[in-house]
């Protein structure tokens, strides 16, 4: 059976208590690939007039501008990123001897988390509120090793009264 064009839906009748709590909060159930792709485009590419994207993304230490062909049309970038993530993770899972159908479903679910506002802001629960600082930059590196996917999130903060940051260099890799 070919993979569906929807993110895997959640079956409420056969779930554990933890799934009943976590799944609705992760917002990946019943979202089409088009919706996930649109969210990815908004999070990982700069809006017109902005100098940088809200989140700097790299996959296996490859920066986004090298991962996705820059000639891809603006409206298709999120979809290209989603398909690239699914393909890379799915291949890694298959190479680790995960069945192809399961590998694609797992890869699609994990890629969907990268467009999930609840998942992307989960770290904020670990930061004590501080009116003297604000979020400066967020970066995510997705690393696949066999059937293991690690998502490393880094968030930097700056003082509210700090001088505006100097204009970034033209480098595409944020460190």
Neighbours of 122 (CB within 10 A): 14
Token pair 């056969």 is found at: 14
DSSP percent split of the chain into helix, strand, coil, nearest 5: 40, 20, 40
Q: What is the pLDDT of residue 170?
A: 45
Contacts 24+ apart (CB under 8 A), 100-108: 101/1, 101/3, 104/3, 105/3, 105/8, 108/3, 108/7, 108/8, 108/33
Coil, strand or helix at 131: coil
Q: What is the pLDDT of residue 95?
A: 93
Contact present, 153 and 60 (Cβ < 8 Å)? no
Res 35 pLDDT > 70: yes
Q: Distance of CA 117 to CAs 55, 61, 125, Å?
A: 12, 23, 13
Token pair 């996930």 is found at: 36
- pLDDT tens column, 113-122: 898 888 888 7
pTM: 0.73
Mean local confidence (pLDDT), 124-139 = 81
Contact present, 123 and 155 (Cβ < 8 Å)? yes
Token pair 């990982």 is found at: 44
Res 24 pLDDT > 80: no
- pLDDT tens column, 82-108: 999 999 999 999 999 999 999 998 999
């Amino acid at each position: 059976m070919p993979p569906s064009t929807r993110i895997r839906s959640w079956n409420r009748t056969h779930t554990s208590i933890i799934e009943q709590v976590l799944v609705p909060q992760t917002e990946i159930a019943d979202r089409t690939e088009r919706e996930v792709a649109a969210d990815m485009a908004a999070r990982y590419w700069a809006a017109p007039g902005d100098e940088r994207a809200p989140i700097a993304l790299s996959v296996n230490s490859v920066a986004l501008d090298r991962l996705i062909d820059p000639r891809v049309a603006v409206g298709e970038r999120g979809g290209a990123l989603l398909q690239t993530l699914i393909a890379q993770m799915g291949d890694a899972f298959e190479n680790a001897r995960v069945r192809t159908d399961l590998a694609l479903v797992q890869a699609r679910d994990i890629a969907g988390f990268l467009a999930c506002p609840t998942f992307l802001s989960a770290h904020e629960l670990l930061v004590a509120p501080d009116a003297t600082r604000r979020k400066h930059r967020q970066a995510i590196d997705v690393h696949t090793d066999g059937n293991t996917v690690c998502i490393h999130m880094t968030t930097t903060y700056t003082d509210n009264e700090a001088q505006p940051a100097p204009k970034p260099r033209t480098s595409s890799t944020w460190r």
